[in-house]
A and B are shown apart, each in its own frame.
Chain A
Amino acid sequence: MENPYLPKSVKIEKIIDETVGKDIKSFVFSFINPEDRKAFDYHPGQFAEISVAGAGEIPIGIASSPTEGDKVMFTVKRMGVVTKDLHNSSPGRIIGLRGPYGNGFPMEELRGKNIVIVGGGFAFTTLRALAVYLMGDERRKEYGDITIVYGARTSGDLIYRDELQAWSKRADLNVNITVDKRDASWQGREGFVPAVVKQVAPDATNAIALVCGPPIMIKFTIPILFELGFAADKILNSLEMRMKCGIGKCGRCNIGNKYVCKDGPVFTYAQLQTMPQEY
């Protein structure tokens, strides 16, 4: 019987400062044991428990796409005990990782569809994984139009900034980056994410919208998607909850009878409408 609580060893290969405030960093891990990487068979939208012995564990969405090779990436905001310890790391440090957990995005269902990706702040991590996956050379033709709307408070808070700028030059993607408040270092779009979604007005025909961001952004984006003709079961959200085990046992991430760790974190808006408003 395999012990699901034992973290596998991973080495921090690279640490990338994502924001001007240096409070969000991306960590690129490589597995020490190749067998562990093989067992870490993930797809976009899933998460894993990062274990820093002595500090604890945190559930974090996987920011890399499985198509990017053997290394896995997580983008982590400095918040509590574990994230602080992680932020103080240097490359070469060996820590623990267990997963992948959760349902992730419904990759089969997305095939052949027009995809609308709406992200806010640093909740763009698993959406980045999805975008990278979708725009892979061989896979891009399996999907219709891909529209990305991504926003942050200021330009300094935009994560994956260089990558997003590179994407916006591609002809087969419709990338819209916005900030709440323009400043000297940002000449691009200004405006809140919901307003930008309205302006961009992606066609709802044969389309699926994936929305991740702060609750306030989600609250105002959903009605706009409805206006554009998206049905509730064609809008997907990824939820966050306090978690410990990540495998449906410790009992703290439930919303009604659904466990965010096991049944989620990705739910359709239609599902959320039937669940208690307790998240």
Chain B
Amino acid sequence: MDTGIIKKTNVKAVIEGLMQMGEVIAPIRNSDYYAFSPLTSAEAACLDYTNSKLSPKGCFFPQAEVLFYYEKEGNKTQEPPKENKPGYLLGIRPCDARALALLDPVFADADEGASPSGDRQYQDVYYQEKRQNRIIIGLACTSSQSTCFCTSIGGSPLDTTGMDMLWQDLGDGGQSFVSASGAGGVSGAGGAGEDRYLVKPITSRGEELLAQLMAKLPLLVEKAGQEDLAEAKEQEQKILQKMPPIFDAEAIADKLSSSFNDPAWQLIHEKCLGCATCAFVCPTCHCFDIQDENKCGKGRRVRLWDSCQLCLFTLHTSGHNPRPSGKERLRQRVMHKFNYFKTNNGQIACVGCGRCIKECPVNMDIRQIISAYLGGDASPAPAGVGRVTG
């Protein structure tokens, strides 16, 4: 399997090449945060970002999505036009790519035969079509935020799960290719040490894409040499050293198994406002609501992000609510991610992106809850995390 090299000065041209081949979705800067958005110009892509405010799950499972249009009379339905064009999701971080791999079994119902009714398979066509049409080009992390904890949860800044291709920044990391090329400073030199991306195909789709790019842009996408690979390896070690695990999440599912009736949930939930921000920014939260929107006898059935943290989520029409207070709702979120999901799909439904910690208005920290259940000796607040309070 060949590995490629793209000099940062050439990245703009490579993205332009990708844009000719299909839609490119990449992180762009939006005043004070980053968001995944289809590119209209290659310059808009920001590959020196830390992570986006909302996870890129919305590219496959949008916050609001039309399931179909209807006419009120006669159950007449019409599906929205399908987008079967190829596309690329560029610059997705390893945690978020891993989250996509966790969402796949949910929307594809891969556990055929596992449930009593397993003879029927329900493919979520909306998710599946977008997932099949888009190639995932990941971007390895060269630095971490204080809220990142992927290494504690089975991930890594260079994890390739869920990706078709991985780009690894072998340069100074902090500098955007856009500003680099804009300043015109880095071009020319060539060889090891230059600001460049190592381009590593992960799947056969990634291999095809690299071959395509090398054929289409032979001067821009080169073959990586031994020194490039050695440097990548060395860099990987350095990054991993910077992010030691703060706990071992492997044991958490077992520890939580007997915690359902633990009185501690009463204390844990107390400061939670039940705003569900954690769920909306989470790359693996996937619960949704279905609503009809009407206008003059016509309308559309829409699916919308929803969350187990909201009080209406499980409310029956009779008034009965199986999860009547914040205690049950927060417990559901933690148990689903760290216990139920693992039982059903073999993995924990958390990737350690830290968005829920960063965006929580009352500084709830999932790391503290996990640490507490793991026995408490791991520090839930790594050095330098000032905002994490007891």
Contact = CB atoms under 8 A, between A and B. Distances in A.
A123 B238 CA distance: 63
Interface string A251-279: 11011110100110000000000001011
A262 to B, nearest CB: 5
Contact of B70 (A53, A259, A263): A53
B79 A9 contact: no
A255 B340 CA distance: 9
B116 A279 contact: no
A171 interface: no
Interface in A44-97: 51, 53-57, 79-80, 83, 94-96
A79 B316 CA distance: 10
Contacts of B71: 53
Q: How large is the interface on B (under 10, 10 to 19, 20 to 34, 35 or more residues)?
A: 35 or more
B306 interface: yes
B340 A256 contact: yes
B287 A240 contact: no
Contacts of A276: 260
Interface in B130-180: none
Contacts of A251: 286-288, 306, 308, 336
B272 interface: no
Interface stretch (A150-158, A160-168, A180-188, A241-249): A241-249
B345 to A, nearest CB: 10
A35 interface: no
Secondary structure of the A side of the interface?
loop
A277 B322 CA distance: 9
A252 B306 contact: yes
A237 to B, nearest CB: 15
Given A3-B79, A249-B122, A56 B107 contact: no
Interface in A86-112: 94-96, 101-103
Interface string B293-325: 010010101000010100001111110001100
A55 B75 CA distance: 12
Given A1-B123, A51-B75, A94-B74, A252 B313 contact: yes
Contacts of B74: 9, 94
B291 interface: yes
A261 B362 CA distance: 34
B231 interface: no
Interface-centre pick from A53, A256, A262, A263 (highest chain B CB count, 10 A) = A53
Contacts of B227: none
A181 to B, nearest CB: 21
A53 B123 contact: no
Secondary structure of the B side of the interface?
mixed
A33 to B, nearest CB: 11
A255 B260 CA distance: 11
B265 to A, nearest CB: 12
B51 interface: no
Interface-centre pick from B72, B122, B128 (highest chain A CB count, 10 A) = B122
Nearest to A80: B317
Contacts of B315: 242
A96 B313 contact: no
A138 interface: no
A99 to B, nearest CB: 10
A51 B290 CA distance: 11
B290 A244 contact: yes
A137 interface: no
Contacts of A248: 109, 115, 122
Given A3-B125, A252-B314, A262 B290 contact: no
Given A54-B299, A241-B314, A252-B308, A262 B287 contact: no
Contacts of B366: none
Nearest to A57: B290
B248 interface: no
B117 interface: yes
Contacts of A250: 287-290, 306
Contacts of B117: 101-103, 262-263
B292 interface: yes
B124 to A, nearest CB: 6
Interface of B: 67-68, 70-75, 77, 79, 106-107, 109, 115-117, 122-125, 128-129, 260, 286-292, 294, 297, 299, 301, 306, 308, 313-318, 322-323, 328, 332, 335-336, 339-341, 343-344
13 contacts: A3-B79, A6-B79, A7-B77, A53-B75, A54-B70, A95-B75, A249-B122, A250-B288, A250-B290, A254-B332, A255-B322, A256-B340, A263-B116
Interface of A: 1-10, 51, 53-57, 79-80, 83, 94-96, 101-103, 240-242, 244-245, 247-252, 254-257, 259, 262-263, 276, 278-279
Given A6-B77, A251-B306, 10 more contacts: A4-B123, A51-B75, A53-B299, A79-B318, A241-B314, A245-B290, A249-B106, A251-B286, A251-B336, A252-B306
A-B residue pairs, 8 tightest by C-beta: A251-B287, A257-B340, A247-B122, A103-B116, A53-B70, A80-B317, A96-B75, A79-B317
